[in-house]
Amino acid sequence: MGNITTDLSAVVTVGLDLAKHVFQVHAIDATGRVVTTRALRRKDVLAFFESLPCCLVGLEACGSAHHWARELMKFGHDVRLMPPAYVKAYVRRQKNDAADAAAICEAVTRPSMRFVPVRSVENQAALMHH
């Protein structure tokens, strides 16, 4: 999978694999065709999602995923967090960031998928004390 990029206004669903410095994006249109696959530096993530139309964004649930979910929701995106164990079943090939982003994108569209609610800043802060 190369860096495929077509018209970003057709994006309906995005899988975002979080990492320390470089995030991987996998976006599809309404027919399931891949619109873009690209790596984004941490500083470029918000600008990329601000330029997208409101869409469904899937993330694997972790501590930082709640922060990113809150930030993306400010742009009007429908953000859903999934437990990593549930996403693992959708990885089709070797384990890498691009394959994880594609698996997240596919998993978030499944009707039987269970989602984790996005925590508020206060809730996360309270849980840090426990």
Provide the pLDDT for residue 1. 47
Residue 14 domain-assigned (yes or no) = yes
Determine the average pLDDT of the residues in 16-41.
95
Residue 3 domain-assigned (yes or no) = no
Residue 59 domain-assigned (yes or no) = yes
Closest residue by Cα to residue 27 from 115, 108, 87: 108
Q: What's the CATH code of the domain at 103?
A: 3.30.420.140
Residue 109 domain-assigned (yes or no) = yes
Q: Taking the model in full, what pTM does it have? A: 0.89
Q: Quick one: 94 exposed, middle or buried, by C-beta within 10 A (0-12, 13-18, 19+)?
A: exposed
Provide the domain limits for residue 12.
8-128
Do you know the residue count of the chain? Answer: 130
Q: Express each pLDDT in 6-15 by its tens digit.
A: 678 889 999 9
Which has the higher per-residue pLDDT, 120 or 1?
Answer: 120
Tally of domains in the chain:
1
Q: Express each pLDDT in 91-105 by its tens digit.
A: 988 888 999 999 999
Contact 34, 40 (CB under 8 A): no
Alpha-carbon span 10 to 36, nearest angstrom:
10
Q: Express each pLDDT in 43-77 by its tens digit.
A: 999 999 999 999 999 999 998 999 999 999 999 99
